[in-house]
Amino acid sequence: MKRFLIVILVILLASFVISGLAYLSYTPDDNCTKMKLYTERYNEVSKKLGMTYSEYERLNAFEVLRLLKKDTEYGYIKASYDLAKEEEINCITYGGMSKWERFQIDVYSGEFFD
């Protein structure tokens, strides 16, 4: 019985030590800074090509393919806009959270292990 309790105690202590080390090494993503970078990238590409995201979305598939054949930068309009919007949502969502709350969310969602 004592051996069984010692084995269980060692397993529990090992898991606490591992999770503590994981928390200490954890640094949450700065979504607001990423949002600014992606927004700047979108503005640069949009200005360079003279087209906004809404104008790009109104085009039919053949026009999009024609533009992409002319210059592959047109694909960056949609990509940078989508990334900026995703990071904006994450910035708002995670803005006031503590490191511990973010750590729990990332561990439970599986993003911590990516």
- Mind listing the pLDDT tens digit of every residue in the chain (114 residues)? 888 899 899 999 998 898 888 888 888 888 889 999 999 999 999 999 888 898 988 989 899 899 888 888 888 898 999 999 999 998 998 888 888 888 888 888 877 776
Distance CA 110, CA 103 (A): 10
Look-up: residue for tokens 């080390």?
21
Model pTM score: 0.70
Q: Interior CA angle at 32 toward 28 and 36, to 5°?
A: 135
**Backbone CA torsion sign across 29, 32, 85, 78:** negative
- Supply the pLDDT for residue 20: 87
SS3 26: coil
DSSP state of 95: T
